[in-house]
Amino acid sequence: MEDYIDDNGMIGNTSDKPEEHTTPTEANTDEKANATESTSETNNDLQFKSRLDLTELQNSVLKIKQEVGKVIVGQKDMVDMLIASLLAKGHSLIEGVPGVAKTVTAKLLAKSLSVDFSRIQFTPDLMPSDILGTSIFNLKASEFEFKKGPIFSNMVLIDEINRAPAKTQAALFEVMEEQQITIDGNRFKLDSPFMVLATQNPVEQEGTYRLPEAQLDRFLFKIDVDYPNLEEEIEILSREHNLKDKTKTETITSFLTAKQIADYQSLVTEILVESHLLKYIAELIIATRNNQFLYLGASPRASIAILKASKAFAAMSGRDFVTPEDIKRAAIPVLHHRVIVTPEREMEGITSKEIIKQIIETVEIPR
């Protein structure tokens, strides 16, 4: 064994010599380096790539909001639901007192899209043929030929839908559900995209006809439009003052084509929905049927509507999967026009919207 001299000047041999250790500073440095490497690898593993590229869809949604926002002040929920309705291939019923920009918003949305647009003013003397079209005898060809009505368009605005009688309202049943009409035994398909935006006034009763439940069920959303607040009212006056001789739609740019809309609608159908969320939607619907305050609960068409609407909201948020928040956001505008409150509760002033809110709070949210 070899001798060595320790730090105190004492002689010893190598068998007693203590092992060399790394200094604490060096050890900490190595540990931090290893930890940094490990964290970096973990972060790289957690950066999952989205299955669907929703960037273009998000940019288009943002641009639509910007175009509509050039004229409309506030009403963000209404604009969001109109866009979601378009992406989900649904129709929307807009209800509000006169003068809250129901019709203007629908026209602006249509103007921002580079698609065919038609407007139908519903009146008590309007006939189904005035909407769908009619067969006219052609003297030159000695045969009947079908002349298409204003419903043959990509986006149709029906103003004051509750002013037409029941037989005229019923003319919309087939076209809104199946995107086709049948006249004289002939079937006519409508071009895609196809969307109906209808407005109605909740306060006037003279010369109006209440929409039947079957007609209401055809609408994906029923959108309630409220009054603007003080700041929004001031902004509305300011914009109207600065508008001068220009019309409200002059500043709107049409940019989204029918092909792009169809591609976005197809993309929305691929949004992922987990099985426990499908169960959550079903539980919400079943709860409306078992609720003692509701005379009529929601149908399977309502559950499908929630599914489609929640997918649209997820896509608008840039996610390729649905969350419980998307379902809760879609539930009220999808359900509150599809259920009927019992007469006793209606006399107490309880609304369907309040009951649905209670149901949403009662049904357990999946985690």
* CATH number of the domain encompassing residue 290: 1.10.8.80
Which single residue is written with the structure tokens 């030929």?
A: 145
H or E stretch covering 31: helix 24-46
25 Cβ partners below 8 Å, 6+ apart? none
Cα 101 from Cα 72, distance rounded (Å)? 8
pLDDT at 146: 83
Same domain, 221 and 206: yes
The answer to whether the CB of 307 falls within 8 A of the CB of 271 is: no
Same domain, 168 and 193: yes
Same domain, 327 and 261: no
DSSP 321: B
Angle, to 10 degrees, between the axis of helix 55-69 and the axis of helix 76-87?
140
Same domain, 317 and 335: yes
Position 357 in a domain: yes
Residue type, 110: A
Q: Which two tokens stand for residue 111?
A: 């103007």
The answer to whether the CB of 298 falls within 8 A of the CB of 338 is: yes
Same domain, 263 and 286: no
Same domain, 362 and 259: no
Same domain, 302 and 165: no
pLDDT at 279: 94
Cα 35 from Cα 225, distance rounded (Å)? 55
Which structural domain, as residue segments, surrounds residue 249?
50-268
The CATH number for 169's domain is 3.40.50.300
Regions in the chain scoring below 50 on pLDDT: 1, 4, 9, 15, 17, 21-27, 32-33, 35, 38-48
Same domain, 275 and 263: no
- Domain end: 220, 244, 268, which one? 268
Same domain, 215 and 351: no
Beta-sheet pairing, 155-159 with 3-5: unpaired
Closest by CA to 166, choosing from 124, 220, 196, is: 124
Same domain, 263 and 310: no
Which single residue is written with the structure tokens 């929004």?
A: 232
Cα 201 from Cα 98, distance rounded (Å)? 7
pLDDT at 250: 73
- Cα pseudo-dihedral 138, 142, 143, 145, rounded to 10: -20
> Is residue 280 helix, strand or coil?
helix
H or E stretch covering 156: strand 155-159
Position 355 in a domain: yes
The answer to whether the CB of 104 falls within 8 A of the CB of 73 is: no
Position 34 in a domain: no
CA atoms within 13 A on the CB side of 361: 6
- Domain end: 215, 236, 268, which one? 268
Give, in order, the Cα–Cα distances in Å from 150 to each of 89, 131, 257, 261, 306. Answer: 19, 6, 20, 21, 29
The answer to whether the CB of 193 falls within 8 A of the CB of 86 is: yes
